[in-house]
Structure formats: structure tokens, C-alpha cells
Structure 1
Amino acid sequence: MSDTITIALPKGRLAEDTIELFLKKGILKNNCIDFNSRKLVFNDDEEQFRFLLVRNMDVPTYVEYGACDLGVVGKDIICETKADVYEFLDLGFGFCRMCVAAADPNFKYRHDIKVATKFVNIAKDFFIKKGFFVETIKLYGSIEIAPILGLSDVIVDLVSTGETLKKNGLHIIENIMDSTARLIGNKNLVRTKYFKIKSILEMLRG
């Protein structure tokens, strides 16, 4: 397994899109992952790949600390975790936006507003650059109801179509960043793996 490339994939659509891309580009000949299985580790012995299915927020950690050589994760997660990894390539799928949203479409920023989000670092960095010191409230789900219940003034969250915001009476105030899936890598790759990964990158770019 010494020359096997271990890749961390986030459970869900990004993992499926990654495998589809690898098959299309000829990096893989067969799909070794059963996405309906409860297994978390899948081996492709012929092509010498091992895939791990993990939580998206954990992908950069597995890569940074060398448990995985490569990983696929959204740009938003890279920024939030501030992981010390190589960001090799924008894979061009998994598009979404990180936005500030509020119940009042004309909401104006001020000091000491309360921001509900699971992206605490991104939210703090965004408001600090604008000169506002805010209180962040970390939530892990159903962020949209925070302003409705008076828990926060605004939310910072990922937006795809915007339908969930509309159904909960929220409006996008500002776009913080766009996010797509990125291929990331460990900074201490062994020489044998480096050449294989270089070949993978060339095939993806081609």
C-alpha cells in the first residue's frame, strides 16, 4: 500500500461527482465505491487508490495531518478550517455562495450584531475586514430559523438556489464568496506519490 494514493472525499454529491470526473478523465477504470453502503473505506487495488468517505469539515484535517494524500472539498471549508494544505485545482463543480442573509432586505451592518453560522471563522474575518466587531453564535443546522426566533440579527451560510432562504422569509444582504470543489493535497508527499499525483493533475487539467 506504500504507493497507494489515499483520497478523502466528503460524503454525498461531491464524492459522487469526483468519482464521475475521475472515470471520465481515465484516472479510474471502474467505480470502486458503493455509495449505498455503510462502508467508509474503499480500495481500488488495480489503480492503487484508497478512498475515504468522511464529513466535509474533516477532509482538510485528514489531508493536513497526512492520513490522506489528497482530498476533495469546497473552497468554503478550506477557508473555514484554515488548513495548511496545497490547493491544487478548482474542479469546477459543487458551486454555491457564502452569503449574509437577514429578515430585513434593507438591513444595515452595525457593531455588536449577532451572527448565527457554522462558518465562524469566515463570518468573523468578513465583518472584521468591514470594520465591524460582531458576536457569532455557532449552529450546526437549521440556521435560517435563528433570525426568526430572535437568536441572531443575520446569518452567514451557504446558498445554492436561495429557495430555503425565501421560504423562511430571509433575504441575501451580501455575497461573501463563491465556492466550488477543490482538489487539495498534503504538503509532505513522498517522492513516489508526488509523480503519480502530478500525473493525476495533468489528466484532470487535460
Structure 2
Amino acid sequence: MKYITIALAKGRLAKQTLALLEQSGITCEEMKDKDTRKLIFVNEELKLKFFLSKTSDVPTYVEYGAADIGVVGSDTILEEGRKVLEVLDLELGKCRMCVAGPASARECLEKNEIIRVASKYPNIAKNYFYNQKHQTVEIIKLNGSVELAPIVGLSEVIVDIVETGSTLKENGLEVLEEICPLSARVIVNEASMKLQRERITQIVKDLQSSKKTEA
């Protein structure tokens, strides 16, 4: 039997996903060793392989078939734009992708003015402003704290993930428009779904059952 490979985004999401898998009887003891230097973890009995990857790389591994299944936030799926099948919303890490800025910037958005938008997510920002709002904007890609951009005059607004909104509030910013809700999703390689449909579908069903139990 061929191995099924699962790519998990490093950090809290990987731990949460592994906990859900454990509830359905899918375990990987090797991954619990905090001192391990291994990159690939194997459950020989179930013929499963796991690896941890940088969040933004998970859709790439899945698209090219290096992983059959991946678990990653929908913000990454939208930003990377990879050709993958999105099969399940795990409803973990719920938050929102929003346009935020000082209250004074609301008018610029309402009047569809040409403005500068700073974001770690240039593709999501571009799609929202160009294809949904039909507003001409200049998008500035940032990697650090995007909240700084409107404060120092780099941009009028930002596009970023908002959980509680407390960071925005502390810096005199607010949510001006909501782009979409976000959460962790299960993605599958298209060819793998055809070749290993039964096994992959079962893993997805197991995750869905564990998700309901967790809720």
C-alpha cells in the first residue's frame, strides 16, 4: 500500500490538527519527540507520512504532489493561489481578513479614490480592490507590522488578519471593510484524490467527526 503524505503548517495549527487526528485513531508518536531532528515522520501501520512546513509552502507541496493532504489557513490558500482541492473547513483559528486604517480613511474607500494599501497579502488585497471593488490602488508588500504603515504615512489603509481588533484599537486604527472570514482548511492534491480517493476521503471524514466532537 502506498503511503499518504500529510503536510502540516508549523506551530499551533499543526498541534491542533494532530490532536484531531489522534481522536480518530491516527497517531504519529515520532512527532511528539521535541528533540527530534527528523523532517519526515512515519506511521508504518497506517502507511502515513507527516512533515511540518512553513505555512506559505503547504499549498505548494500539495499542488505538486509532494504531499497528498495539507492543513493550512485559508488566508494562505487565497494568497498563494495554488491549484488544490479545498475539502474541509476545520473551523480552527477563526478570524477575518479586513481592510483597516484610521477612521478618516473611510471616505477614501467610499469614494473609490486612488490610495496606497500596505499588506503581507498583496494578492488578496489586489483581488479585493481590483476585482471586487474596482478601485485603483497601489499595493505595498510588507513583511512586518503592517499597522505601522498608515501611522507613519506609508499607506492610507492596510489589508490584514484581524482576530480581536485590539492591536488596531491600540494604534488608533479600526476595521473599515471586511474581505472574508478565515479558518484552517484541509486541502488535497487533485491527482491524489483520483488515485487514493477512498483513503483520503476516510481521513477527511475522520477529521470531520473529530471536529464535531471537539465542538
User: Distance in 1 between the 2:56 and 2:103 partners?
Assistant: 30
Answer yes or no: is the 8 Å Cα contact 2:18–2:27 preserved in 1.
no
Q: 1:35 to 1:161 in 2, by over 3 A?
A: farther
Q: In percent, how many aligned pairs have the same letter?
A: 47
1:168 aligns with 2:171: yes
Equivalent residue number for residue 131 of structure 1: 134
1:80 partnered with 2:79: yes
2:170 corresponds to 1:197: no
Listed one character per residue, the Cα deviations across residues 85-139 of structure 1 (whole Å, up to 9, x for unaligned) are: 1111111211111011102266221332110001111111111211201100001
Aligned partner of residue 191 in structure 2, secondary structure: coil
CA contact (8 A) 1:101 1:171 kept: yes
- Gaps spanning 5+ residues in structure 1: where? none
Deviation at 1:75, TM superposition (A): 1.3
Q: Secondary structure at the residue paired with 2:49?
A: strand
What residue in structure 1 maps to residue 213 of structure 2?
A: none
- CA distance in structure 2 between the aligned counterparts of 1:180 and 1:141, rounded to whole angstroms: 21
Whole-Å Cα distance in 2 between the matches of residues 143 and 24 of structure 1? Answer: 38
Residue number in structure 2 paired with 1:34: 32
Question: When you count helix as a share of all residues, which structure comes out higher?
Answer: 2
Alignment length, in residue pairs? 204
8 A contact 1:74–1:180 mirrored in 2: yes
Tell me the C-alpha RMSD between the 2 structures.
1.9
Tell whether the 8 Å contact from 2:101 to 2:157 is kept in structure 1 after alignment.
yes
Contact 2:118 2:140 in 1 (8 A): yes
84-93 or 97-106: which moved more?
97-106
- Give 1:191 shift: 5.9
Distance 1:63 1:32, change over 3 A: same
Does the 8 A contact of 1:96 with 1:179 survive in 2?
yes
The corresponding residue for 1:63 is 62
- Alpha-carbon distance, 1:193 to partner: 2.8
After TM superposition, which residue ranges in structure 1, 4 or more long, deviate above 4 angstroms?
none
- 55-64 vs 187-196, which deviates more? 187-196
1:33 and 1:15 map into 2 onto residues whose CA distance is: 10
Determine the C-alpha separation between the residues in 1 that align with 2:67 and 2:151: 41
Q: Distance in 2 between matches of 1:90 and 1:20?
A: 16
Q: 1:57 to 1:147 in 2, by over 3 A?
A: same
Give how far 1:194 is off.
2.5
Question: How far 1:153 moved relative to its partner?
Answer: 0.7
